[in-house]
């Protein structure tokens, strides 16, 4: 048994769960995966001994429990990766943290109307608020690749926490037919081709969909 356990929800739509899972997988850190089905009558009861917030994800590492995706990723980077979860350059690291915090707190319309759903493939209408948020993501991806992408194909060259934070957005934008600039689309193709992103999507597609409306499953 590993000293590390990651508590996650349904892979089909639990985008917050996906983020630290991707970090652990891409950096080859062994961990035990604990899956708790969301939106069930006993979900809170099952999460009680696993997550202080009664939400996913939660990381248990020896005698420490961490919850919230960014906090978990920060902990993994600091304790298990000697800081390698973020870019080594202070300038790049500052930008990576800023855009990661932005996707954590912003984009309310995408999170509500275009939630990550690995099983979805449908062209949705694009309202002005959605268009504005897509344009902002496009600008983030394009700018990071131009200014900070040397040395690799990810946002800051090599794979980092920032890529974990935006992978669910790439899945959602593809699922609902978003049109991106060529530079942003190239990055979207890169993150979607990541083998662990593909494995998460494959497992998400294989899950049985809970009986909840699409609009109510966003936990991105």
Where b means 16+ CB within 10 Å and e means fewer, 150-163 reads: eeebbbbbebbbbb
Q: How many residues does the chain have?
A: 220
Q: What per-residue confidence (pLDDT) applies to 208?
A: 84
**Which token pair is 41?**
């009558």
- Joined together, the tokens standing for residue 20 give 């630290």
- Does residue 212 carry a pLDDT above 80? no
What pLDDT sits at residue 41?
87
The band of 220, judged by pLDDT with boundaries at 50, 70 and 90, is very low
Between vectors from CA 213 to CA 35 and to CA 106, what angle results, nearest 5°?
A: 75
User: What mean pLDDT is reported for the chain?
Assistant: 93
Q: Are strands 32-35 and 4-8 parallel, antiparallel or unpaired?
A: parallel
For 87-138, write each residue's pLDDT tens digit: 999 999 999 999 999 999 999 999 999 999 999 999 999 999 999 999 999 9
CA 40 to CA 19: how far, in whole Å?
22
pLDDT tens digit string along 54-82? 999 999 999 999 999 999 999 999 999 99
Domains and CATH numbers, the chain: 4-84 (3.40.30.10), 90-202 (1.20.1050.10)
Buried/exposed code over 36-51 (b: 16+ C-beta within 10 A; e: otherwise): bebeeeebeebbeebb
- % of residues, the chain, pLDDT over 90: 87
Backbone region of residue 123 per phi and psi (left: phi > 0; alpha: psi in -120 to 50; beta: other values): beta
**Packed helices 195-206 and 161-175: angle between N→C axes, nearest 10 degrees:** 50
pLDDT, residue 211, reads 53
pTM here is: 0.93
Express each pLDDT in 2-56 by its tens digit: 899 999 999 999 999 999 999 999 999 999 999 998 988 899 889 988 898 999 9
């Amino acid at each position: 048994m590993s000293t590390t356990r990651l508590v996650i929800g349904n892979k089909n739509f639990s985008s917050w769960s996906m983020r630290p899972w991707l970090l652990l997988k891409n950096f080859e850190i062994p961990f035990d995966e604990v899956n708790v089905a969301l939106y069930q009558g006993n979900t809170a009861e099952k999460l009680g001994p696993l997550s202080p917030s009664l939400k996913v994800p939660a990381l248990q590492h020896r005698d420490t429990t961490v919850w919230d995706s960014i906090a978990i990723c920060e902990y993994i980077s600091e304790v298990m990766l000697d800081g390698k979860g973020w870019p080594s350059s202070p300038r790049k690291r500052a930008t990576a943290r800023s855009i990661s915090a932005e996707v954590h707190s912003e984009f309310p319309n995408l999170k509500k109307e275009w939630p990550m759903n690995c099983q979805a493939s449908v062209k949705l209408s694009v309202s002005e608020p959605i268009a504005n948020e897509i344009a902002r993501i496009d600008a983030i991806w394009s700018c990071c690749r131009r200014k900070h992408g040397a040395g690799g194909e990810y946002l800051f060259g090599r794979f980092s926490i920032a890529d974990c934070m935006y992978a669910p957005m790439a899945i959602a934008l593809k699922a609902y037919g978003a049109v991106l600039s060529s530079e942003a689309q190239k990055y979207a193709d890169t993150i979607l081709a990541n083998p662990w992103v593909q494995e998460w999507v494959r497992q998400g597609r294989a899950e049985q969909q809970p009986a909840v409306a699409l609009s109510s499953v966003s936990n991105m």
